Structure 1
């Protein structure tokens, strides 16, 4: 028998991450950082995603809070880089829970 409470808990715990990956600008930032090698500063990211610097900073803050990226200082500039290992493991766990709870409808 399915444990839908466990699925609800798993989805609630991953909701922030799912939201991060659902938003187009944040996906663009993730891809840009993934292709950057050593990370990018806000100016570089702003040029790549073509939105205002305050908007980029807002997205970066949300992504840091979710654990998808982190930042290091290089003098006065901040360099952002991906930290996907933990978030991806969390999503894998969530989807494994959902898969275990999934009961296909007969005939479908």
Structure 2
């Protein structure tokens, strides 16, 4: 693959990752993700449980959870009137991984002197 094709692939990767990058770029959302990753609860956590650990208001946590859900990073499971949030293991992180791998491939060729 020539440099132009690699750059086009990276450009597409960036477009595919925009929502993900915006979602994980916020410190509060990073804190929420860390709480969800640290939990031993397999069923997910409720907003109140997350709120206690990140020290944000309940409306703020709900707002951040919506952004994370819209980006496909977390999922929500309803159980009656209760909502449980958890990391989407089959989600969008593969897109981010592809972006990083494509950039690494391009940089490796650049530094090895195979720049076309």
> Same fold per TM (> 0.5)?
yes
Equivalent residue, structure 1, for 2:15: 12
Equivalent residue, structure 1, for 2:65: 60
For the 8 Å contact 1:7–1:101, the answer to whether it is kept is no
1:105 is displaced (CA, Å) by 8.7
Computing the radius of gyration over CA atoms, which structure comes out larger, 1 or 2? 2
Aligned length: 106
1:20 is displaced (CA, Å) by 2.0
Could you say what the CA RMSD is over the residues aligned between the two structures, in angstroms? 1.7
Equivalent residue, structure 1, for 2:56: 51
**SS at 1:78's partner residue?**
strand
> Taking structure 2 as the reference length, what is the TM-score of the superposition?
0.80
TM-superposition CA deviations, 1:23-55 (whole Å, max 9, x none): 111111111111222311111111111111111
**SS at 1:47's partner residue?**
helix
For the 8 Å contact 1:71–1:81, the answer to whether it is kept is yes
> Taking structure 1 as the reference length, what is the TM-score of the superposition?
0.86
Equivalent residue, structure 2, for 1:74: 79
